[in-house]
Structure 1
């Protein structure tokens, strides 16, 4: 979202979500984060009785976040 915003691109999920729900982008981002965290916790709870699947998901999640955190294209160093 940040990368697109500074480039003036409003055809992204967050901008479209905000417009369709009558929210400003900060509130839309907050709602998106809350929903994402809620879904992540739901997945963890669902997988908890399945240790192999749980461990695989957790490893994937950590790698996914780490990988995307290192991509310069997201310009995260500018906002962190």
Structure 2
């Protein structure tokens, strides 16, 4: 499958998919930490974001569509 964000990112940057995935993960984690730092002084928003993130992550990590077991 080449019509997806990761494949397009890899092709546009001259990377293989594994390196593109690594960069995407690093950027995602960096942004997540930035959001947490921004929301930390706002406990209600922080708690809502963390609850949403936990559910969102668990859903997508276990959803068969992404075939994560093939790359883990």
Same fold, TM-score > 0.5, yes or no? yes
Partner of 1:36: 28
TM-score by length of 1: 0.81
- What is the alpha-carbon distance in structure 2 between the residues aligned to residue 32 and residue 51 of structure 1? 28
- Flag as ranges the 4+ runs of structure 1 deviating above 2 A: 72-80
Instruction: Flag the 1:37–1:55 CA change in 2: closer, same or farther, 3 A.
Output: same
Whole-Å separation in 1 of the counterparts to 2:11 and 2:57? 27
The one of the two structures with greater contact order (alpha-carbon pairs below 8 A, sep at least 6) is 1
For structure 1, list consecutive stretches of 5 or more residues without a partner in the other structure. 1-8
Aligned residues: 72
Normalised TM-score (structure 2): 0.89
Alpha-carbon RMSD: 1.3
Shift of 1:49: 0.2
Do the aligned partners of residues 18 and 61 (structure 1) sit closer, same or farther apart at CA in structure 2, a change above 3 Å counting?
Answer: same
User: What's the CA shift string for 1:7-64, capped at 9, x where partnerless?
Assistant: xx10111111111111111111110000000000000000000000000000000000
